[in-house]
Amino acid sequence: MIISPPRCGKTTLLRDLIRQISDGNEYVKGCSVGVVDERSEIGGCYMGIVQNNLGMRTDVLDCCPKAEGMIMLIRSMSPQVVAVDEIGTAEDIHAIEYAMQCGCKLIASVHGMDMEEAARKPVLGEMIRRKMFERYIVLGNDGHPGKVKEIYDERGSVLCRK
Protein backbone atom coordinates (compact mmCIF):
# COMPACT_ATOMS: atom_id res chain seq x y z
CA MET A 1 0.00 0.00 0.00
CA ILE A 2 1.28 3.45 -0.94
CA ILE A 3 0.34 6.21 1.54
CA SER A 4 0.80 9.92 0.91
CA PRO A 5 -0.88 13.31 0.88
CA PRO A 6 -2.18 14.62 -2.45
CA ARG A 7 0.42 15.60 -5.07
CA CYS A 8 3.25 13.54 -3.59
CA GLY A 9 3.56 10.93 -6.33
CA LYS A 10 1.23 8.08 -5.29
CA THR A 11 -0.28 7.54 -8.71
CA THR A 12 3.03 8.02 -10.51
CA LEU A 13 4.71 5.39 -8.31
CA LEU A 14 1.72 3.06 -8.71
CA ARG A 15 1.86 3.44 -12.50
CA ASP A 16 5.59 2.66 -12.57
CA LEU A 17 5.20 -0.37 -10.29
CA ILE A 18 2.42 -1.70 -12.53
CA ARG A 19 4.63 -1.38 -15.62
CA GLN A 20 7.62 -3.03 -13.97
CA ILE A 21 5.59 -5.91 -12.52
CA SER A 22 3.88 -6.45 -15.87
CA ASP A 23 7.01 -6.33 -18.03
CA GLY A 24 9.41 -8.02 -15.63
CA ASN A 25 13.16 -7.71 -16.19
CA GLU A 26 16.27 -9.84 -16.63
CA TYR A 27 15.89 -11.19 -13.07
CA VAL A 28 12.12 -11.55 -12.64
CA LYS A 29 9.50 -12.77 -15.09
CA GLY A 30 6.58 -10.40 -15.70
CA CYS A 31 3.12 -11.05 -14.24
CA SER A 32 -0.39 -10.43 -15.49
CA VAL A 33 -1.71 -7.24 -13.90
CA GLY A 34 -5.31 -6.03 -13.73
CA VAL A 35 -5.87 -2.31 -13.17
CA VAL A 36 -9.15 -0.73 -12.10
CA ASP A 37 -8.81 2.88 -13.23
CA GLU A 38 -11.94 4.55 -11.89
CA ARG A 39 -11.02 8.12 -12.95
CA SER A 40 -8.59 7.37 -15.82
CA GLU A 41 -5.64 8.62 -13.76
CA ILE A 42 -3.48 5.52 -14.03
CA GLY A 43 -3.77 4.55 -17.68
CA GLY A 44 -5.05 7.85 -19.02
CA CYS A 45 -7.40 6.09 -21.43
CA TYR A 46 -8.67 7.96 -24.47
CA MET A 47 -11.41 6.35 -26.56
CA GLY A 48 -10.70 3.02 -24.86
CA ILE A 49 -6.95 3.05 -25.49
CA VAL A 50 -4.47 3.29 -22.62
CA GLN A 51 -2.16 6.27 -23.19
CA ASN A 52 0.38 5.57 -20.42
CA ASN A 53 2.74 2.59 -20.58
CA LEU A 54 1.44 0.10 -18.02
CA GLY A 55 3.30 -2.90 -19.39
CA MET A 56 2.60 -5.60 -21.92
CA ARG A 57 0.77 -7.95 -19.53
CA THR A 58 -1.65 -5.35 -18.13
CA ASP A 59 -5.42 -5.22 -18.59
CA VAL A 60 -7.24 -1.99 -17.66
CA LEU A 61 -10.87 -1.47 -16.66
CA ASP A 62 -11.41 2.24 -17.27
CA CYS A 63 -14.12 4.37 -15.61
CA CYS A 64 -15.32 1.46 -13.47
CA PRO A 65 -15.98 1.63 -9.71
CA LYS A 66 -13.04 0.07 -7.87
CA ALA A 67 -14.85 -2.58 -5.83
CA GLU A 68 -16.95 -3.82 -8.75
CA GLY A 69 -14.00 -3.62 -11.11
CA MET A 70 -11.71 -5.71 -8.91
CA ILE A 71 -14.25 -8.54 -8.82
CA MET A 72 -14.94 -8.27 -12.57
CA LEU A 73 -11.21 -8.36 -13.39
CA ILE A 74 -10.58 -11.40 -11.23
CA ARG A 75 -13.51 -13.32 -12.67
CA SER A 76 -12.83 -12.50 -16.31
CA MET A 77 -9.10 -11.78 -16.70
CA SER A 78 -7.46 -13.86 -13.92
CA PRO A 79 -4.70 -11.37 -13.05
CA GLN A 80 -1.86 -12.36 -10.75
CA VAL A 81 -1.74 -8.78 -9.42
CA VAL A 82 -4.58 -6.26 -9.04
CA ALA A 83 -3.79 -2.52 -8.84
CA VAL A 84 -6.11 0.29 -7.72
CA ASP A 85 -5.66 3.95 -6.84
CA GLU A 86 -7.04 5.72 -3.76
CA ILE A 87 -8.96 3.02 -1.91
CA GLY A 88 -10.92 3.78 1.22
CA THR A 89 -14.49 2.45 1.28
CA ALA A 90 -15.97 -0.58 3.00
CA GLU A 91 -16.78 -1.98 -0.45
CA ASP A 92 -13.08 -1.74 -1.30
CA ILE A 93 -12.22 -3.93 1.71
CA HIS A 94 -14.64 -6.62 0.58
CA ALA A 95 -13.24 -6.58 -2.95
CA ILE A 96 -9.66 -6.71 -1.61
CA GLU A 97 -10.59 -9.69 0.58
CA TYR A 98 -12.10 -11.40 -2.46
CA ALA A 99 -8.94 -10.75 -4.49
CA MET A 100 -6.73 -12.17 -1.75
CA GLN A 101 -8.94 -15.24 -1.32
CA CYS A 102 -8.56 -15.81 -5.08
CA GLY A 103 -4.76 -15.75 -4.73
CA CYS A 104 -4.16 -12.30 -6.22
CA LYS A 105 -1.55 -9.89 -4.92
CA LEU A 106 -2.66 -6.28 -4.54
CA ILE A 107 -1.09 -2.86 -4.99
CA ALA A 108 -3.12 0.12 -3.82
CA SER A 109 -2.73 3.73 -2.82
CA VAL A 110 -4.47 5.82 -0.15
CA HIS A 111 -4.50 9.42 1.00
CA GLY A 112 -2.73 10.02 4.31
CA MET A 113 0.07 12.05 5.86
CA ASP A 114 1.69 9.04 7.52
CA MET A 115 1.06 5.51 8.79
CA GLU A 116 -0.48 6.75 12.03
CA GLU A 117 -3.07 8.90 10.25
CA ALA A 118 -3.92 6.06 7.87
CA ALA A 119 -4.39 3.70 10.84
CA ARG A 120 -6.86 6.15 12.45
CA LYS A 121 -9.17 6.10 9.43
CA PRO A 122 -11.93 3.53 9.96
CA VAL A 123 -11.57 1.53 6.73
CA LEU A 124 -7.81 1.85 6.32
CA GLY A 125 -7.23 1.16 9.99
CA GLU A 126 -9.20 -2.06 9.62
CA MET A 127 -7.01 -3.12 6.68
CA ILE A 128 -3.86 -2.36 8.67
CA ARG A 129 -5.10 -4.19 11.79
CA ARG A 130 -5.96 -7.23 9.67
CA LYS A 131 -2.52 -7.15 7.99
CA MET A 132 -4.06 -7.12 4.52
CA PHE A 133 -0.88 -5.70 2.96
CA GLU A 134 2.72 -6.90 3.28
CA ARG A 135 4.30 -3.45 2.89
CA TYR A 136 3.27 0.15 3.49
CA ILE A 137 5.27 2.81 1.65
CA VAL A 138 4.85 6.38 2.91
CA LEU A 139 5.73 9.13 0.43
CA GLY A 140 6.49 12.75 1.17
CA ASN A 141 7.19 15.91 -0.74
CA ASP A 142 10.23 17.67 0.66
CA GLY A 143 10.59 19.59 -2.58
CA HIS A 144 10.76 16.29 -4.47
CA PRO A 145 7.42 14.51 -5.05
CA GLY A 146 7.64 10.75 -4.71
CA LYS A 147 10.33 10.72 -2.04
CA VAL A 148 10.04 7.61 0.14
CA LYS A 149 9.86 8.68 3.80
CA GLU A 150 9.15 5.35 5.47
CA ILE A 151 8.51 1.69 4.74
CA TYR A 152 6.59 -0.53 7.17
CA ASP A 153 5.97 -4.28 7.26
CA GLU A 154 2.55 -5.92 7.68
CA ARG A 155 2.75 -5.56 11.49
CA GLY A 156 3.39 -1.82 11.27
CA SER A 157 7.08 -2.11 12.21
CA VAL A 158 9.43 0.36 10.54
CA LEU A 159 11.72 -1.26 7.98
CA CYS A 160 13.20 1.97 6.62
CA ARG A 161 13.02 5.63 7.61
CA LYS A 162 14.66 8.50 5.73
CB 52 within 8 A of CB 77: no
Q: Which domains does the chain have, with CATH numbers?
A: 2-130 (3.40.50.300)
What is the predicted pLDDT for the residue at 54?
Answer: 98
pLDDT of residue 29: 97
Adjacent-strand bridge partners of 62: 37
Predicted confidence at residue 107, as pLDDT, reads 97
**pLDDT tens for each residue of the chain, 162 residues long:** 999 999 999 999 999 999 999 999 999 999 999 999 999 999 999 998 999 999 999 999 999 999 999 999 999 999 999 999 999 899 999 999 999 999 999 999 999 999 999 999 998 999 999 999 999 999 998 878 889 999 999 999 999 998
Please give the pLDDT value at position 144.
80
pLDDT at 143: 79
